[in-house]
Structure 1
């Protein structure tokens, strides 16, 4: 049986949503997001970041810029006891892309290519996995991959009532979700800590 994973969008879920963040100076972890990742990890889930980076396609920054920031972020998390199992990104855009990045690809969310790549490389069981994002494209990506539990957090983009209906649930931020997330015991079975309230968190 493959691993259960929590797939996470980056901007608006882990770090503060700003337009096209690509430098260390601009990058700011959302309050308690690192602690939330630690809680999720300790509950037995693999942590996998899946992020659209159309700023690369648009020429705002390079893949090298993104990778440099990603390495810094990764080490910040490791220093706090959090290990990301995978970081997958899409550098394309079908209309706004420049040169080789103007591609109607299979990896740009809401398409599920990033998740499918992670499944193959990390041996993930989608049936026991979760998607977390701040936009409806994240929710649709999870659904397109076959993930049954797809959550929105309010720490990034504004969420409409229509978007809420498409999600399994809506949380204030990643910490609220992490506390509510089920544990996975040694046999890989779900252990519900407490019943999730039907209302917003």
Structure 2
């Protein structure tokens, strides 16, 4: 049986991309500061890079779910431009206060729940205990902790509520995505040395 692999699970808006609410226009998608350098660092590691993103705009009637295909395509292009490869893009279209019937509900995939992460583990054969969840708010951290991942909070000012909780304490707090990538890079190096 093949050994399950470690991956990097990334939040999209505010972590990987500049935070533009409900944006599904590929031409307006811009990498967050230091994200290009982070992608180069991640790309060199050879780990699957998977974006996991709440997209409540579907449930709220802001855009159709089909628009997310363009978002995924643009993400894939941005990754390639910076020496990395997008292994997967998982999104949650639900919101309990939505107005689009099939998506207007509570679910187990909307972060801070861990459904997208466990789905990624199933799809890509991931070892979540060796994987990393990186995001800019504590809901990302909680999703990662619930799934059993290692967690990094990119504290760039997007977390404004700071609701406490045992599952909302990240292992690391950094000020940029590249700093997060450096932590992952160091950990991979240490683990590789320990196995050799």
Which residue, out of 174, 177, 181, partners 2:177? 174
Mapped to 2, the partners of 1:12 and 1:107 lie a distance apart of 19
Mapped to 2, the partners of 1:77 and 1:135 lie a distance apart of 22
Deviation readout 1:17-36 (Å, 9 max, x if unpaired): 12111112332111221220
Q: Please report how far the alpha carbon of residue 11 of structure 1 lies from its aligned counterpart in structure 2 after TM superposition.
A: 0.4
> Which residue is 2:139 aligned to?
137
> Which residue is 2:32 aligned to?
30
> Which residue is 2:16 aligned to?
14
> Which residue is 1:158 aligned to?
159
Alignment of 1:82-121 (within 5 A): 82-121=84-123
SS in 2 for 1:75: helix
Unmatched 5+ stretches in structure 2: none
Mapped to 1, the partners of 2:65 and 2:193 lie a distance apart of 40
Which residue, out of 177, 184, 191, partners 2:188? 184
Conservation of the 8 A alpha-carbon contact between 1:17 and 1:156 = no
Mapped to 2, the partners of 1:97 and 1:151 lie a distance apart of 33
SS in 2 for 1:87: strand
Conservation of the 8 A alpha-carbon contact between 1:106 and 1:113 = yes
Runs of 4+ in 1 over 2 A off after TM superposition: 158-165, 180-185, 188-192
Mapped to 2, the partners of 1:63 and 1:96 lie a distance apart of 13
Q: For the structure 1 residues 163 and 74, does the alpha-carbon distance in structure 2 shift closer, same or farther, using more than 3 Å as the test?
A: farther
SS in 2 for 1:2: coil
Alignment of 1:11-90 (within 5 A): 11-90=13-92
TM-score between both structures, scaled by the size of structure 2:
0.86
Aligned length: 189
Mapped to 2, the partners of 1:183 and 1:13 lie a distance apart of 20
Q: Please report how far the alpha carbon of residue 57 of structure 1 lies from its aligned counterpart in structure 2 after TM superposition.
A: 0.8
SS in 2 for 1:89: strand
Unmatched 5+ stretches in structure 1: 193-201
Report the aligned-residue RMSD: 2.3
Which structure features the higher share of helix residues?
2
TM-score between both structures, scaled by the size of structure 1:
0.84
Q: Please report how far the alpha carbon of residue 141 of structure 1 lies from its aligned counterpart in structure 2 after TM superposition.
A: 0.4
